Structure formats: C-alpha cells, structure tokens
Structure 1
Amino acid sequence: MDLDAFRWLLTEPGQQLLARATEVAGDDPLRAQSALRRDASAEQVAAALTQATLRLRAVPKFGDLAPRLYFTPDGLEQATRVPVAEHRAARLEAFRTTTLVDLGCGIGGDLMAAARAGITCAGVDLDPVRVEVARANLEALGLPGAVMVADATTVDPAPFDVAFADPARRTGRGRSFDVDDWTPPWPFVERLLRRDSCVKVAPGIPHGLVPAGVEAEWVSDHGEVKEAALWSGSLATTARRATVIGDGGLATITDEDDPGPGAVGVVPVGRYLYEPDGAVIRAGLVTAVASGVGGGLVDEHIAYVTSEQSFATPFARGYEVLTELPYREKQLRAALRERGIGRLTIKKRGVDVVPEQLRKRLDLRGDDEATIVLTRVAGQGTALLVRPF
C-alpha cells in the first residue's frame, strides 16, 4: 500500500471516497473503480477500495470495530482476534501492568486492546505504512498511545513494565514454522523472555523450545486454536496453560490440574466420549480433562477421553456413545443404511480417513442424520455411533 495514498485517505476528501468505496466494495472490481475514478487518482481509488475490502475481511477478527479501523493485507493476517487480544490485555491488567511496549506492533491490534484496558502503550514497527495504520487505528478509537518507525531489536524495553512481541512468521516462501525465519528471530525472543514479557508465537511451537521458567499458554476462540503466548518473569504463573474462549465466556486449565504420569490410563469406551479442545491438546493437558470427567483415554496416543459420567466442560465437546459400528467400510455402509442415515457427520482422529471421500463412497440416502467417530481404541480401528450433547 502506498504511504502517501493512505495518508490522503485520512483527510476529509479521502474519508468521503472511502465511504463511497465501502458502498461498492462488493461490486465487480472494474465497475467499482470506474465509479470512483471521477474525483480521485488511480492510487487514491486503489487505497480506498483496498481498505473497504479489508474491512469486510476483518469482521471475523475485529467484529463491530472493523468498519472503523484500517488495515494492510499482511497486517490483517497477522493481527490478533479481538477476544484473544482482550484476554491478553486482561491478564496484563491483572498483573497491574501500567506501561507496555509493543515491539513490532503491526496494525496495532494488541496495542489497541492494551490501551482499552487502561495501559499506557508505545509501539514500534519497521514498516512505515503499518506504523501509520496503527496510529490511525488508535485515533479512530480515541485511544492514547505512541507509535513510531524503529527496529524492535534496537529498542530498550527497560523503561516499560512489560514488553510484548509478535514476530512475523512469513518469508518470501510463505508461512514459516522455523523460528530462525521469524522477524525478529528466535534469539531476540529468548533475550526478551529474560524479563517481564509476553511473546505471541505459532500454536505449533514445540514444548521443548519453551525456556525454563516461561509459561506457555495456548488459546482457542470458539473451537479454533489461534495462537500460543509465552509469558516470562513475574507474568509466568505455571508451565502450561490452555485457555478456551466461547459464547459462555473464558475458561482456563493448567498443568497443575493434571494428575501426573500414570494417574490416567487407557480404559474401555464408556457411555460418554469427550473430544478435547485443540488448545488443550496443544498444551498437553488431555489427561487433565480425563481426570476432570472421571474417565480415561481410549488409546494412549489418541486425544479422545471416555467416561461413564456426563459432564458439561468448556474444555471438550461431549458425545453420548450409542453403539459401536463395524469399522470396515462395506459393513459400515450396511449398518448406516439399515438405520436410515442419509446425512452423516464424520469425526476422526488417529486413523487414515478423509471424511469427505468416505462420505461420498458410503453413498447414504436415508432421511435421518447421525454422527460417527472413527478412531483407534486400544490400538484398534473403531467406529462409534454417537450423539452430541
């Protein structure tokens, strides 16, 4: 995005063009450009249409705030969802954080959440466009805060209570899971974690990479694992934590809730089956969920929990086990057709099955609906007919 065109977009004529671009953003691109070119340059029209389009794409992350904010394509992709950013800001507020420096603030997603929590914030980023966008976003929400162009690795975080960083994890080849490709790189993160800091990282970060004394928190939003965050210094309160955000609010479980090795084993499939949330699985806390529902594992390598008891837990989705079905495809088809099943939800874990392909091969045509779970139970492929509760 051109910096001058974006700055012009913040002027009164630019805001008028942006309002018009919002009205035609869903139209044919050529028609939309033609409608806007009468009173603006090609660069200005492109900037307005880009913002209008990005605001539509931003709704899943930013909700009602999206129409008031500004974005860049890569900045939107890396930005934290509002509920997750608000959770992080609430944790910082609980630790009585008064000042925060965001080292690589991007478009300012976490900066805005912290400022809304009453924390005095400063942000830096290498990209002048992202800095301008972050500054505009703070102003759009009437929030205080300073943003400037700077190399995060050269900024001294000592004057601030907490340093926050969200290293970019994309290269010219696309998304990278190699910490050496991050910007700033992993050695910078390790240095930052020697003080009170929070670093947002990919949810696939290996447990062995987390430095000693640092808390690793995996966060999911409505069933989707969104990130992991590393908390260091006085902000670390445990080793591993899973936090789930849903319609009912927020819940968290830690390694202190885990009964420990050997306390939860493999047991026969009981009346109920539980599918742990992805954040729980990433945090290695499946056995904590099993202990919480008074059950065990269906297989030592599979993240399904079973119990004879019915529990409502935010950390897993529950199913009543109705019966076991044949695992072989031909016999499974016959069993489902016999029950008049036409619409089938297929859950699978630990088995080599592609649900869409299997559903097509089963070719079911009944009037009823059902859910099956394909997994391993004590090492054996198993099909279970279940009912969500």
Structure 2
Amino acid sequence: MGYEFSIDDVEFLRSRYGEKALQNTASLTLTPDALLSEMPDLRSRYGEHAPALVETVRTRRKASSKLLHADRILASDTALQQATAAPVAAHRAADIAARHPGAVVHDVTCSIGSELMALTTTDGISGAIGSDLDPVRLAMADHNLSLDGERRRPWLLARADALAPVSEADVVIADPARRNARGRTFKLDELDPPLLELLSVYAGRQLVVKCAPGLDYRLLCDRFGFDGQVQVVSLDGGVREACLWSESPRPARRATVLRTGTDAYEVTSDDPDELDPAGVGEWIVDPDGAVVRAGLVRHYANRHGLRQLDPQIAYLTGDHVPPGERGFRVIDQLGVSEKVLRGALAAHDCGSLEILVRGLDIDPDKLRKRLKLKGSRPLAVVLTRIGRTGTAFLCEPGVRAAVAG
C-alpha cells in the first residue's frame, strides 16, 4: 500500500509553497536507496508533508504514459493504478457523445477524475458531474480538473455514495473497485460497490460500468439476465477493461482495439463469421486480446480473409498479416516434445526464442530454460493443439505489418 494522503496534504500541494516544494522534490532521484539520504532533508524542510511530496512525484513519473498532464496531477499510487488510461477514457467519452449528443454525464465513482478529464474536453458532452465517498480523492479531482481549465465543459464535484443517486444526469458511469483485503477480485459480489447492486439501482437509466477484463460476462448475461452490450477494450496490446453498457443496442459484444499513433478499430458480434476450413497458411497471427476476450476471433478472421488453425483455438493463419498486427512466418511444423524442439532449434542455430502458447499447459519461461539454446539466430515457436494433438510451429521472429497511410 502506498502513502495515504490527508486533506491537509492536498491543500499544501495545491498551494504556491507546495508547488515549489514539488519542483524541488522532482529534482531528486527518490529511489528506495536514495531516500535514506533524501528523506531527512525533505522532512527538515517540509515537515509532515514530506511523504506526500515523495508519493506525488513518484506517482507523476509513473503516470507519464497513462494520464494527460501527468507532471501536474495529484494522485496516490493506488489511485493511479485504478485510474482509466487517457486514450481509453477519451474513446469512451467520444462514444457517449455519439450515442447521446448533448448529454450530461455523471461519474459516480470519480476518484481523482481521470474519466472526468476526458468527459469535460469532449465535443458533444455538455457537462459532467463527479462524485465519490473519499474527500481526499475529490480534492485531487478538483485540482486535476482545473488543469487546462479553459478547454473544459462545466463540471461539478460532490461527496456521495454511488448506490444513492444524487443526479438526473443523462448517462451514469461507474468503476467498482476490484480489490479487497485479499487482493484483486473478479467476483461480481466482491466489487465495491457490488456490480449487481449498481445495475439494480440504475435500472432504466443509461449506465456504463467499467469492469476488470477478466469479468465473466457470460455468467452475468446467462445467470443474471444482463441484456446490454459488453465492450472489451485494449490499449497498445494490453486488455484494459470489460465495459458494460446497460442500454440494449446491437451488437451484443464488441472489441475495441486502441493503439498509440494509429486509428482504433472495432470488431462486433454483428460482423460475419463464416470462415474457410481450418488449415495452416504461410503466416500465423495472434489476434489482439480484446478480440479474443470478446469471443470475436472468427469475426476478425472473416474481415481479414484468415482462417483458424483449429476451430477451438484463437490462433489464425493465412497468406498475409492484417495491417498493424504481428505475424509469424512458418518455417516448420513439429511435435511438442522437448527432444524434437531442441533438435529443430539447434538445427536452425536458434539463440533466442519467443514462445507463444494456447491450448496447452506449458510454461514458456520454464520451457525456454530447458531448451538450452546455444545458437545466434532469433526465432519464435507457436505451441498449440490441432484437434487433440499438440503441435509446434517453428517461425521466423514476429513482425508487425505496416498500416496504410
């Protein structure tokens, strides 16, 4: 657990003296070893606020790849871990604006305001409300929303329980906490606030709920009757969240793939999913995790003229690699015994190996150590099963296909 800020800490950090103290602290290394000598000086100069200064500067450094204005935000390390990455929040805000032009949006678990920062700078959204039970995080959100203030739509902050509605906003956003005393949880009844209670309290309203990417949305739909839309979102190859939209538009499922520097794309359950028979082509393609988690591998394959290695496995194959995706050119098809793999890798002078696994109980790191590579050539191996047979595909190193334009 990181440092727990107080309201006094936040007020100090927002003052002119606190801003200067943050500049001074930012010039330090603040590594665990360095803090042994740096902290005494900070305490002598800034007293009880020294830990808050250290936590803020270290959190800002971590936030540089996640949030806008990272060098000026106020956030604890825990709050940063829970915050929505700026590109994901911006895409959702644009989505809401397109579905509900002119909407007022209420984030009922706003924390430090990462979602509000996107909502209040998106055309088509007329205003935003943020509420939270934690007064410290609300104070941080107030600071963060004040950054670049001239571009922001009207906003309001309030201390309130997410399960006790306090506004009639057109759209409600919620992000239940996914950690408890035992650590991270994926159980629907252990989220805070509980997911089923959220859905009940806001029944009949436009509700958007951000959940962990490992959410069992099939259970939610099949057992608890959720009939809205499930959106799985990835950013730069990492699956970030499963987002529930309580309204019931088609498609029922969609995968949203966001990548820095390129246009986003989406695959939906309304897309066609007819494929040619399974077989092995020149390339093997591992679809983005959002596509896999959303159960839209066949739909993605149809769009790009690919087919599956096996109907039950997410690896795709064909004579090309879709733009922006990584592909592995097949050199040979082998068995999965370590003896066979070791011989083939030695014959190809393999010195470094990327290992991809689906459908088999194999630990890539442990296998790589046992293979005892001694060559100089980088290669990749795709380990999977075709039918009930374990199969290895020895491949050239993965390459990412160019994006047109």
Question: TM-score category by the smaller chain?
Answer: over 0.9
Distance in 2 (CA, whole Å) between partners of 1:212 and 1:12 is 49
The answer for the alignment partner of 1:250 in structure 2 is: 264
Selected match of 1:86 from 65, 90, 95: 90
Distance in 2 (CA, whole Å) between partners of 1:183 and 1:301 is 35
Question: Secondary structure, in 3 states, of the residue corresponding to 2:45?
Answer: coil
Q: Is the 8 A contact 2:160 2:166 kept in 1?
A: no
1:112 to partner: Cα distance? 0.7
Cα deviation code 1:164-209 (max 9, x no counterpart)? 1111111111111111111111233222253212111111222230
* TM-score, structure 2 as length reference: 0.89
Of stretches 249-258 and 186-195 in structure 1, the one that deviates more from structure 2 is 186-195
Report the residue type matching 1:77 in the other structure: Q
The answer for the alignment partner of 1:366 in structure 2 is: 375
1:88 to partner: Cα distance? 0.4
Report the residue type matching 2:94 in the other structure: A
Amino-acid identity (%): 37
1:141 to partner: Cα distance? 3.0
Distance in 2 (CA, whole Å) between partners of 1:29 and 1:237 is 54
1:99 is aligned to 2:104: yes
**Count of aligned pairs between the two proteins:** 380
Cα deviation code 1:122-160 (max 9, x no counterpart)? 111011111111111001231442112111211244x21
Unaligned runs of 5+ in 1: none
Selected match of 2:210 from 182, 193, 200: 200
Distance in 1 (CA, whole Å) between partners of 2:282 and 2:62 is 42
The answer for the alignment partner of 1:68 in structure 2 is: 72
Selected match of 1:109 from 87, 90, 114: 114
1:171 is aligned to 2:184: no
1:22 is aligned to 2:26: yes
1:25 to partner: Cα distance? 4.4
The answer for the alignment partner of 2:42 in structure 1 is: 36
Q: Is the 8 A contact 2:209 2:245 kept in 1?
A: yes
Cα deviation code 1:303-352 (max 9, x no counterpart)? 11122x314245x5322222213421112111111111111111111112
Report the residue type matching 1:33 in the other structure: M
List aligned pairs for 1:194-273, cutoff 5 A. Answer: 194-206=204-216, 207-210=218-221, 211-233=225-247, 236-246=249-259, 247-259=261-273, 263-264=274-275, 267-273=278-284
Distance in 1 (CA, whole Å) between partners of 2:63 and 2:175 is 19
List aligned pairs for 1:264-343, cutoff 5 A. Answer: 264=275, 267-307=278-318, 309-313=319-323, 317-343=326-352
Cα deviation code 1:288-307 (max 9, x no counterpart)? 12222333322232111122
* TM-score, structure 1 as length reference: 0.92
Cα separation, partners in 2 of 1:356 and 1:290, compared to 1, 3 Å: same
Distance in 1 (CA, whole Å) between partners of 2:277 and 2:226 is 30
Q: Is the 8 A contact 2:229 2:253 kept in 1?
A: yes
Question: Secondary structure, in 3 states, of the residue corresponding to 1:385?
Answer: strand
Of stretches 267-276 and 162-171 in structure 1, the one that deviates more from structure 2 is 267-276
Q: Is the 8 A contact 1:25 1:53 kept in 2?
A: no
The answer for the alignment partner of 1:7 in structure 2 is: 11
1:141 is aligned to 2:148: yes
1:265 to partner: Cα distance? 6.9
Distance in 2 (CA, whole Å) between partners of 1:254 and 1:317 is 21
Distance in 2 (CA, whole Å) between partners of 1:30 and 1:127 is 31
Question: Secondary structure, in 3 states, of the residue corresponding to 2:70?
Answer: helix
Selected match of 2:160 from 143, 150, 154: 150
Unaligned runs of 5+ in 2: 400-405
Question: Secondary structure, in 3 states, of the residue corresponding to 1:327?
Answer: coil
The answer for the alignment partner of 2:355 in structure 1 is: 346
Distance in 1 (CA, whole Å) between partners of 2:12 and 2:29 is 19
Distance in 1 (CA, whole Å) between partners of 2:87 and 2:59 is 19
Runs of 4+ in 1 over 4 A off after TM superposition: none
1:245 to partner: Cα distance? 0.7
1:102 to partner: Cα distance? 0.6
1:385 to partner: Cα distance? 1.4
Q: Is the 8 A contact 2:255 2:294 kept in 1?
A: yes
Report the residue type matching 2:246 in the other structure: S
Q: Alpha carbon RMSD of aligned pairs, Å?
A: 1.8
1:231 to partner: Cα distance? 1.4
Report the residue type matching 1:249 in the other structure: D
Q: Is the 8 A contact 2:255 2:268 kept in 1?
A: yes
Report the residue type matching 1:184 in the other structure: P
Distance in 2 (CA, whole Å) between partners of 1:166 and 1:53 is 24
